[in-house]
Structure 1
Amino acid sequence: MESTQLALLALLLGAVIGVAACLIVFAAIRARERAVREAEGAVPPGMTAVLDAMDDPAAVVDASGLVAAISPTAPWLGIEKDAPLEHTGLRDLVRAARSGATETANLRLVRGGMSSDSRLVSGRAIRVNERHTLLIVRDLSEQERLEQMRHDFIANTSHELKTPVGAVTLLAEAIELAADDPAQVRAFTARLSAEADRLGRLTGRIMNLSRLQAAEELTSVGDVAIDEVITSAIEAHAVQADSAGVDLARGGDRGLYVRGDTQILKEAIGNLIANAIAYSPRGSRVGVGVRAAAGAVEIAVTDQGIGIAEADQQRVFERFYRADQARSRRTGGSGLGLSIVKHAVARHGGEIKLWSQPDRGSTFTVRLPLSEAPVIDSPAKKRKKRKPETAVVGADAKEGSE
Structure 2
Amino acid sequence: MTSPHIALFALAIGAIIGAGLVLLVGWAYRARAQAAEETSQAVPAGTIDVLASMDDAACVLDASGLVLAVSQAATRFGIEAGAVLENAELRQLVRSVRQSGGSATETLRISRGGVRLDPRLVSARASAMGARLTLLIIRDVTERERLDQMRNDFVANTSHELKTPVGAVTLLAEAIESAADDPEQVRRFAARIQAEAGRLGQLTGRIMSLSRLQSSDGLSGLRPVSLDEVIASSLEAHAVQADSAAVELVRGGDRGTWVLGDAQILIEAVGNLLANAIAYSPQGSRVGVGVRVEGEVVEIAVTDQGIGIAEADRERIFERFYRADEARSRRTGGTGLGLSIVKHAAQRHGGEVRLWSRPGRGSTFTVRLPRIEAPSADGTGKKKKKKRAKKDATRTRNGENA
Q: Normalised by the shorter chain, which TM-score bucket?
A: 0.7 to 0.9
Could you tell me how far 1:312 is from its partner in structure 2?
3.0
The C-alpha deviation readout for 1:200-247, integer Å capped at 9, x for no partner, is: 111211222233234353344343333332222222222322333332
Partner of 1:271: 272
On the 8 A contact 2:222/2:261 being kept in 1, the answer is yes
Could you tell me how far 1:264 is from its partner in structure 2?
1.7
On the 8 A contact 1:307/1:362 being kept in 2, the answer is yes
Counterpart amino acid of 1:55? D
The number of aligned residues is 351
Partner of 1:338: 339
Equivalences for residues 191-270 of structure 1 within 5 A: 191-215=192-216, 217-270=218-271
User: Sequence identity of aligned pairs in percent?
Assistant: 68
On the 8 A contact 2:39/2:68 being kept in 1, the answer is no
Partner of 1:120: 121
2:272 & 2:122 partners in 1: Cα distance? 39
2:241 & 2:103 partners in 1: Cα distance? 65
Match status 1:86 vs 2:80? no
3-state secondary structure, aligned to 2:289: strand
The C-alpha deviation readout for 1:110-141, integer Å capped at 9, x for no partner, is: 22323322222112223344443322111111
- RMSD of the TM alignment (CA)? 2.9
Equivalences for residues 57-76 of structure 1 within 5 A: 57-76=57-76
1:170 & 1:238 partners in 2: Cα distance? 32
Question: Taking structure 1 as reference, are residues 48 and 214 closer, same or farther at Cα in structure 2, changes over 3 Å only?
Answer: same
Counterpart amino acid of 1:319? R
On the 8 A contact 2:70/2:81 being kept in 1, the answer is yes
Question: Taking structure 1 as reference, are residues 172 and 111 closer, same or farther at Cα in structure 2, changes over 3 Å only?
Answer: same
Could you tell me how far 1:300 is from its partner in structure 2?
0.5
Could you tell me how far 1:326 is from its partner in structure 2?
3.7
Partner of 2:38: 38
Q: With structure 1 as the length reference, what TM-score do the two structures score?
A: 0.78
2:291 & 2:38 partners in 1: Cα distance? 68
Counterpart amino acid of 2:239? A
Partner of 1:179: 180
Question: Taking structure 1 as reference, are residues 258 and 51 closer, same or farther at Cα in structure 2, changes over 3 Å only?
Answer: farther
Partner of 2:290: 289
Counterpart amino acid of 1:119? R
Equivalences for residues 320-331 of structure 1 within 5 A: 320-331=321-332
Could you tell me how far 1:41 is from its partner in structure 2?
4.6
1:274 & 1:374 partners in 2: Cα distance? 31
Partner of 1:302: 303
Could you tell me how far 1:166 is from its partner in structure 2?
1.7
Partner of 1:95: 95
The C-alpha deviation readout for 1:251-306, integer Å capped at 9, x for no partner, is: 22233333333322221111001111222233322111111225422111011223
Question: Taking structure 1 as reference, are residues 67 and 342 closer, same or farther at Cα in structure 2, changes over 3 Å only?
Answer: same
1:146 & 1:176 partners in 2: Cα distance? 45
Gaps of 5+ in 1: 1-29, 383-402
2:74 & 2:373 partners in 1: Cα distance? 44
On the 8 A contact 2:66/2:83 being kept in 1, the answer is yes
3-state secondary structure, aligned to 1:282: coil
Could you tell me how far 1:194 is from its partner in structure 2?
0.9
2:220 & 2:146 partners in 1: Cα distance? 26
Question: Taking structure 1 as reference, are residues 348 and 128 closer, same or farther at Cα in structure 2, changes over 3 Å only?
Answer: farther
Choose 1 or 2 for highest CA Rg: 1
3-state secondary structure, aligned to 1:117: strand
Equivalences for residues 318-397 of structure 1 within 5 A: 318-374=319-375, 377=378
3-state secondary structure, aligned to 1:346: helix
3-state secondary structure, aligned to 2:270: helix
Could you tell me how far 1:36 is from its partner in structure 2?
12
Question: Taking structure 1 as reference, are residues 103 and 371 closer, same or farther at Cα in structure 2, changes over 3 Å only?
Answer: farther
1:36 & 1:340 partners in 2: Cα distance? 56
3-state secondary structure, aligned to 1:115: strand
Partner of 1:386: none
On the 8 A contact 2:57/2:137 being kept in 1, the answer is yes
On the 8 A contact 1:41/1:62 being kept in 2, the answer is no
Counterpart amino acid of 1:331? T
1:300 & 1:71 partners in 2: Cα distance? 47
Partner of 1:152: 153
Question: Taking structure 1 as reference, are residues 318 and 42 closer, same or farther at Cα in structure 2, changes over 3 Å only?
Answer: same
Counterpart amino acid of 2:68? A
Question: Taking structure 1 as reference, are residues 121 and 311 closer, same or farther at Cα in structure 2, changes over 3 Å only?
Answer: closer
Question: Taking structure 1 as reference, are residues 124 and 69 closer, same or farther at Cα in structure 2, changes over 3 Å only?
Answer: same
On the 8 A contact 1:317/1:339 being kept in 2, the answer is yes
2:379 & 2:201 partners in 1: Cα distance? 44
Partner of 1:4: none
1:366 & 1:320 partners in 2: Cα distance? 20
1:146 & 1:82 partners in 2: Cα distance? 36
3-state secondary structure, aligned to 1:334: coil
2:233 & 2:89 partners in 1: Cα distance? 58
Could you tell me how far 1:182 is from its partner in structure 2?
0.9
On the 8 A contact 1:108/1:121 being kept in 2, the answer is yes
Question: Taking structure 1 as reference, are residues 373 and 137 closer, same or farther at Cα in structure 2, changes over 3 Å only?
Answer: farther
Could you tell me how far 1:74 is from its partner in structure 2?
0.9
1:219 & 1:295 partners in 2: Cα distance? 23
Question: Taking structure 1 as reference, are residues 125 and 259 closer, same or farther at Cα in structure 2, changes over 3 Å only?
Answer: farther
Gaps of 5+ in 2: 1-29, 385-402
Question: Taking structure 1 as reference, are residues 297 and 52 closer, same or farther at Cα in structure 2, changes over 3 Å only?
Answer: farther
